[in-house]
DNA sequence: CCTTCTATGTACCGAAAGGTACATAAATGG
DNA sequence: CCATTTATGTACCTTTCGGTACATAGAAGG
């Protein structure tokens, strides 16, 4: 039925993963179609036939990143017992991923398209929405802790979520700048050191 | 003596400042020579005669950024009394600059060239060195506090400096993503909330 | 076997990138 | 007044960008 015509000679999953890695390493603008096709092991017409356009390919690469990198790490937020613990573990899993020697350093969602020409504004907004998503997850976990009575009624979860989001994003930059995993871990511990005073300060008057 | 030949018809300071603003807004790769020349109010040959090349122009723009944006804000680190206060004020001045409605959001040094093609690796390293400079300033201020007895002997200033550097860089991303000044200020307060426990934890065994 | 359908590789497109040749304009030195 | 020096504007260079036309290869359907 759907097996009409010449079968494709490449593995789309492998190709997309290769594209993801290059986008992750070089960013959206920094990865050229020619390089992308090369690492994917295919020619440009095959690339366009299978993935549509550079922007479309990028979005699919981000989706793959979400599934293969993001999802696994975000689970800690729900699996780990206790808010504080959950957030600490979430940060830790992130920083471990950021320094994986087999992969580009830092988070693709943070680094791949922070800035650039007006033509690619859509791509940047797409990534910004992904970042907002991560913040929302953190926020949800905090609100759940309030619901469950672990955090005081009236705790301002927005500030706490914003703070840890900021640290998380800063960690990506540190990772790209060459920080070791031990250094990143120390930064994470520093961020968690303030937990008690932070939640104490975040209760509405 | 040096006033031979046709005098230049444009103000190099204004031109460089305009270039800085475009690089700040769009990043190194994202700002094209044609756009740069346009906002500088000159033609490309004049640009090349006065500033050398795109990379050279960029470095001069970063230098100008250092002088006009960085220096002023870094002074707080030394002028403000007390380490904690100095760092808090330093972060605050930064975040106020990051949300100045008359200027691009966030820090140019953090945002303008985080990622990109191999050709511009030199530019990225140049900016990375600038970021290291800022961290070094923070570190120096902390060590001074140890010297002066304000912080305990054996305090690990590296971790503290890394932590606040990470927060500072994260703030640039938050600013670009549209956070208000109030939100950024709340994040900074959250980062400072952990001060006491952070310095307590950072004393060597 | 022949048509139909999809995938492939080559070779190319127009646009835009960074950068420059060159003729001319505007100043100073003699 | 003329030579020299530097800046300007136009028009162009080469390369590379994202994207595609087109002829061909390889499978299934009839």
DSSP state of A66: I
Nearest CA in chain A to B188: A163
Neighbours of B66 (CB within 10 A): 16
| pLDDT interval class at A2 (50, 70, 90) | low
For residue A138, report the phi and psi dihedrals to the nearest 5 degrees. Answer: -60, -45
CB contact under 8 A, A198 and B194: yes
Q: Give dist(CA A31, CA A167) in Å, integer.
A: 27
Identify the CA nearest to A191 among candidates B129, B183, A169, A177: A169
Q: Is the CB of A81 under 7 A from strand D?
A: no
* Chain B residues closer than 8 Å to A25 by CB: 115
DSSP helix/strand/coil, A155:
strand
Residues B142, B92, B164, A198, CA torsion sign: positive
Identify the CA nearest to A61 among candidates A91, A90, A92, A39: A39
Give the model's pLDDT for residue A114: 98
Nucleotides of D under 7 A from a protein CB: 4-11, 16-22, 25-29
Q: Which residues contact B56 (CB under 8 A, 6 or more apart)?
A: none
Question: Which residue(s) pair with A203 in the sheet?
Answer: A155
- Mean pLDDT of the residues in chain A: 97
Give the model's pLDDT for residue B105: 98
Q: Write down which residues 108-147 in B have CB closer than 7 A to strand D.
A: 117
- Residue pair B60/B51 in contact (Cβ under 8 Å)? The answer is yes
| pLDDT interval class at A3 (50, 70, 90) | confident
- Residue pair B180/B187 in contact (Cβ under 8 Å)? The answer is no
Residue A1 has pLDDT above 70, yes or no: no
Q: How far is B186 from chain A (nearest CA, A)?
A: 6
- Residue pair A69/A95 in contact (Cβ under 8 Å)? The answer is no
Give the model's pLDDT for residue A138: 98
Q: Kindly report whether the global pTM for this prediction surpasses the value 0.85.
A: yes
Cα three-residue angle A57-A63-A67, rounded to 5 degrees: 145
- Residue pair A90/A161 in contact (Cβ under 8 Å)? The answer is no
The mean pLDDT values, 10 residues at a time, for chain B of 205 residues are 84 98 98 98 98 98 97 96 98 98 98 98 98 98 97 97 98 98 98 97 82
Give the model's pLDDT for residue A35: 98
Q: pLDDT (tens digit, 9 = 90+) per residue, B148-186? A: 999 999 999 999 999 999 999 999 999 999 999 999 999
Average pLDDT value for residue range A111-132: 98
Torsion of CA A184, A188, A190, A196, to 10 degrees: 180
Q: Give dist(CA A52, CA B90) in Å, integer.
A: 47
> How buried is residue A150: exposed, middle or buried, by Cβ count under 10 Å (0-12/13-18/19+)?
middle
Burial profile B97-133: b = 16 or more Cβ within 10 angstroms, e = fewer: bbbeeeebbbbbbbbbbbbbeeebeebbebbbebbee
Q: Which residues contact B121 (CB under 8 A, 6 or more apart)?
A: none
Identify the CA nearest to B198 among candidates B85, B97, B84: B84
Q: Give dist(CA A50, CA A12) in Å, integer.
A: 8
DSSP helix/strand/coil, A22:
helix
Q: Is the CB of A86 under 7 A from strand D?
A: no
Give the model's pLDDT for residue A205: 59
Average pLDDT value for residue range A135-142: 98
Q: pLDDT (tens digit, 9 = 90+) per residue, B94-105? A: 999 999 999 999
Q: Which residues contact B127 (CB under 8 A, 6 or more apart)?
A: B62, B109, B112, B113, B114
Chain A residues 163-182 with a CB less than 8 Å from chain B: 163, 165-171, 173-174, 176-179
Q: Give dist(CA A64, CA A70) in Å, integer.
A: 9
Give the model's pLDDT for residue A139: 98
* Chain A residues closer than 8 Å to B169 by CB: 169-170, 173-174
* Chain B residues closer than 8 Å to A178 by CB: 128
Q: Give dist(CA B127, CA B27) in Å, integer.
A: 11
Give the model's pLDDT for residue B2: 59
Query: Token digits for B37?
Result: 């020349």
């Amino acid at each position: 039925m759907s097996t009409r015509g010449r079968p494709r000679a490449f593995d789309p999953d492998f190709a997309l993963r290769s594209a993801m890695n290059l986008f992750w390493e070089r960013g959206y603008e920094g990865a050229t179609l020619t390089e992308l096709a090369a690492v994917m092991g295919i020619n440009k017409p095959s690339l366009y036939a299978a993935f549509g356009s550079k922007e479309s390919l990028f979005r699919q690469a981000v989706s793959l990143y979400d599934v293969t990198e993001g999802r696994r790490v975000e689970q800690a937020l729900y699996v780990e017992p206790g808010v504080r613990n959950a957030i600490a573990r979430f940060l830790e899993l992130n920083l471990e991923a950021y320094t994986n020697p087999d992969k580009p350093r830092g988070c693709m969602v943070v680094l791949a398209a922070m800035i650039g020409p007006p033509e690619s504004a859509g791509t940047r907004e797409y990534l910004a929405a992904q970042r907002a998503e991560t913040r929302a997850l953190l926020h949800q976990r905090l609100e759940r802790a309030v619901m469950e009575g672990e955090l005081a009624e009236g705790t301002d979860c927005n500030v706490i979520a914003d703070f840890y989001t900021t640290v998380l994003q800063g960690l990506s930059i540190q990772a790209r700048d060459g920080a070791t995993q031990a250094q990143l871990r120390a930064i994470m511990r520093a961020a968690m050191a303030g937990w008690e005073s932070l939640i104490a300060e975040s209760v509405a008057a």
